[in-house]
Amino acid sequence: MKRTFISAFLVVCLGVTSSYLFFSNYKKNRNKVMVADNKGNVEVKTNKDTVLDSNILLNTKSKDEEKKKEQKKEEDNNEQSKSNNKTNSKDESIKHKDKKEVQRSKTEDKKSNSDKKDNKSKPVDNKDKPVIISSNGLAPLKIRTYDGSSQLTHPKVLHFKSGWNGWKYWMAFTPYPFGNDDYENPSIVVSQNGYDWVTPKGLKNPLTGVPKDVDRGGHYSDPHILTNGSSMELWYRYNPAREKGSGSNNGINMIFRVKSKDGVNWSKPELVFNDKNTYLSPVIIYEENKYKTWFTNYSGDMKYRESSDGKSWTDAKLVNIELPGYNPWHQDIIKTDLGYELVFCAYPKGKFNQNIQQLYYARSKNGIDFEKPMKILSPSKDDNKLDNKMIYRSSILKVDGVYKIYYSAMDRKTRWHVFLTEGSDLNKLKGF
C-alpha cells in the first residue's frame, strides 16, 4: 500500500511538472509566429514584428492600391478629356453650323424683306389706273405776310426765264390766318430761285387794299396773275357784305383786275365780271390775242369763257372732266407743248364742309375736253406736318421740263401755308 501511494504521488508530481512546463513555454512563445517568405523560407517572429510587417504590408498594399487608383483616375481623366474634346469639337462644329444656318436664315430673311419692299415700291403697270407716287413738301415756304401771321393760301406763280423787272418768279397770294377772310387781300412776292421769297422793293401789301365793308363781312379772295405784252395783270374776286345782317354775300361774285408795268405801281381796279355766273378761283391765260378763263361754281362744275378785250365774253361752256363722286373746287391751268395742263383740288360730293380735298392733274388739247384726271397729292398723314388736313388751290409751272407745284394746304389746327413739290415726272414728285 505504501508502494502504491508513492507511485500515485510521483504520477501527480509528473503531471504538475508537465503542466508547468507547457504553460511556461506557451507564455514564452505565445507572441511568436512562423512566417514564410515568397521563396518558402520560414522565419520565427514575434507578434509585434508580425503586426509591424503586417502594417507595412497593409500600408504597401494601400499605397499600391492608391497608386493604381491614381493611375486609373488619371487614365479616366484622360479618357474624359478626350471625350470632352471630341464633344467640344462636335459642339463647336454644331455651333458653327448653327451660326452659318442663322446667318443664312438672316440673309434669306433680309433678301425676302428686300424683295417684298422692292415689290411694294414698284408701281403697278396699269394704264387705266396709273399709280401715282407723289411727295408732300417737307416744310412750308417762308413767306412773310402783311398781317404778320405768315399764313397764306391760293398761290399763283409765274416764271420768266430772263426775269421780269429784275425777278424770275412772281407770286400772287392772300393771307388767310386760321381761315379769317378779313385778311384775304391780294399780295405779291418775288424770288430768283423759286424757293426764297421777298416783297419787291417799293411795293406795299396788300396791293389792293382792303374792302370798305370788311367790318360787315365783305372780303377779297382768289388772286391770279398773268402777263399781256409788257404788262402784268392781277385778277381777284370780291364778295360784298350782306345788306342785312353780317357776313359776305356769296350770291354776288365780282371779278376785278389791276395792271402794272413794273409790279410795284398798279392801276385802279377795273370790274371785269358781274353777272349770274359764280366765279370761283378764275384762271386766266392771254393767248391768240384773247383772254381765256376757266372757273368753277358751287355745284362743282368747271366752265370756260373767252374775250378779245376782257369786257365782252362768250357764253360759258361746260368743261368735260370725269371724276365720279368728286367736285372740282379751285384750279390752275398752263399752256405747254402737251396742250393745256390742269391741276385742281376736289372734294367728295356732299362733303364740302368736312374739308376733305386732294389735288388732281389732267390735260387737254383744246382746253375743253380733258383726259381722265389722276391724283397727284393728298394731305400728309403725319400729325406734325402742316399739310395734314386739306390740299387747296395750287399753281402749276413747267420750267425746263421740270414741274413745280406750289400748293396751299391747311393743317388740323386750321393753319394755312404754301408748299412746293417738283419733278420732271408727275409720278415722282419730290417735296421741298
Higher pLDDT, 427 or 191: 191
For the stretch 149-163, pLDDT in tens is 999 999 999 999 999
Give the Å distances, CA to CA, from 395 to 173, 186, 283, 361: 11, 15, 10, 11
How far is it, in rounded angstroms, from Cα 137 to Cα 361?
Answer: 17
State the pairing for strand pair 402-410/416-423. Answer: antiparallel
Report the CATH number at residue 182: 2.115.10.20
Say if 126 falls within a structural domain: no
Q: Is residue 105 part of a domain?
A: no
| pLDDT at residue 355 in the model | 83
DSSP string, 359-403: EEEEEESSSSBBPPPEEEE-----TT-TTSSEEEEEEEEEETTEE
The pLDDT of 79-83, averaged and rounded, is 48
- The answer as to whether 274 is a domain residue is yes
- Assess if residue 139 is contained within a domain: no
Average pLDDT value for the chain = 80
Residue closest to 332 by CA, chosen among 322, 342, 323: 342
Asked if residue 103 is part of any domain, the answer here is no
Higher confidence at residue 83 or residue 216?
216
In a domain, 129, yes or no: no
Its domain, for residue 281, covers 152-431
Q: At 379, phi and psi to the nearest 5?
A: -60, 145
How many Cβ atoms are within 10 Å of 114's Cβ, its own excluded? 10
- DSSP tag of 266: B
pTM above 0.75, yes or no: no
Max CA distance (Å), the chain: 200
> With contact defined as beta carbons under 8 Å apart, do 384 and 370 qualify?
no
- Locate the DSSP E strands across 165-268: 167-175, 187-191, 219-228, 231-239, 254-260
> Please, which pLDDT band fits residue 74 given cuts at 50, 70 and 90?
low
Q: What is the pLDDT of residues 206-218, one digit of tens each?
A: 999 999 999 999 9
Q: H/E element holding 41?
A: none
Do the domain assignments include residue 65?
no
In tens, the pLDDT along 92-108 reads 443 443 444 434 444 44
| Domains contained in the chain, number | 1
Please check whether residue 350 lies inside any domain of the structure: yes
Instruction: Check pLDDT > 60 for residue 352.
Output: yes
**Predicted local confidence at residue 277, as pLDDT:** 79
